[in-house]
Amino acid sequence: MDQFRNDHAATKTDLMMGVYKTDEGKAHVLSSVKKAKERLFADPSWHHDYRESLIGSKAFREASIRLFFGDKSSVVRDKRVASMQTLGATGACHSAAVLLRDHYAPWKSKPPCVYIPQQSWTNHAFVFTSLNIGASFLPYYDPITCGLGFTTLKAAIYDLPPESVIVFQTGAQNPTGCDPSQEQWEQLASVFKERGHLALFDAAYPGFASGDMEEDLHCLRLFVNLDIPVVLAATYGKCFGLYCERVGILSIVAPDQDIRERVEVQMRLLARSESGPMPDFGSTIVENILNDHDLESQWREEVREMAGELRNRRMELKKKLDALGTPGDWSCITNQKGMFTFIIFATSTMSTFSSPEGYL
């Protein structure tokens, strides 16, 4: 990044950060977020004192649960989702790792280990290994098709020890842009159900795959409806454009209200020991948008527009590569989704990946 900043070439392009930017290269600020900020600044009761809860305001957490799990979900209706505000999805993954390490029963009799797609966000493995939790990789990307290698992925998950913890992204997968189809998610859910696996979903880019929040969260809700153990780590950094505000949420689906309350006790103890009360500015913006019908509708439309613009940029890039006669089949650019494109092709000397480095 230092080399990039010091390079004065007019055509340089930063491909390092997962940030949705304008054509001018600036971080995009959503109009719904601007309106929510204006209302917040005009509120005479708003203050900078510590908030009452260590795990985020009740209104923020309840709005988040409704957004991700759906208003009509039985786990929402029965108040079975424990939740805590976190420092982005990284903080949510970290808190999930601590709680699983200390309380996930199947790990009491064997060394804790999570299973992560070979091509995944590079920090996923480090979050767990830094807590002395093992991390092993699952086959994911197929360099022959430049898409998801579903058959090998499904077989690998079936062969894992029962009650394994598997990390998946809900959509617009980083770094491949390759997601299972709804039918493939249903097949994976059947394997999870049969083998007793726990799914740790990372929702970093909801809405960026299809433009529709409901469609992009289908896999999460499918697993929950089938009573598969689910932990959700999510961030509002991308879909609200609140990158530096670090607004995240960790949710754990419990069997009943009593266990949900016990889980939230552990969440409060964890927050107390690691961070204290969460920052309030970004979460209040999210809370106010999700609890206002007009602002939420405007925000959802803005997410659709961003997803549509990402698709347009993909088509434009492929068109220019084809016009230049660039060797190779560049259809992967338009077949993949979201902010990331994975363009490693198969060669006679490369059949597997030994590390998650070398992304393009």
Catalytic residues: 121, 202, 238
Pair of tokens at residue 272: 């107390």
- Identify whether the C-beta of residue 248 lies closer than 8 Å to the C-beta of residue 56: no
Alpha-carbon gap, residue 36 to 360, rounded angstroms: 36
DSSP letters, 64-85, are HHHHHH-TT-HHHHTT-EEEEE
DSSP letters, 233-271, are EEESTTTT--GGGTEEEEEEE-SSHHHHHHHHHHHHHHH
Q: Maximum CA pair distance of the chain?
A: 67
Residue with tokens 């299972």: 180
Q: Which amino acid is present at 70?
A: G
- Identify whether the C-beta of residue 218 lies closer than 8 Å to the C-beta of residue 208: no
Alpha-carbon gap, residue 167 to 115, rounded angstroms: 6
| 3-state SS, residue 134 | strand
- Identify whether the C-beta of residue 202 lies closer than 8 Å to the C-beta of residue 195: no
Alpha-carbon gap, residue 108 to 344, rounded angstroms: 39
Q: 153-188 b/e with 16+ CB inside 10 Å = b?
A: bbebbeebeeebbbbbbbbbbbbbbbbbeeebbeeb
DSSP letters, 154-216, are HHHHHTSPTT-EEEEESSS-TTT-----HHHHHHHHHHHHHHT-EEEEEESSTTTTTS-HHHH
Burial class (CB in 10 A: 0-12, 13-18, 19+), 125: buried
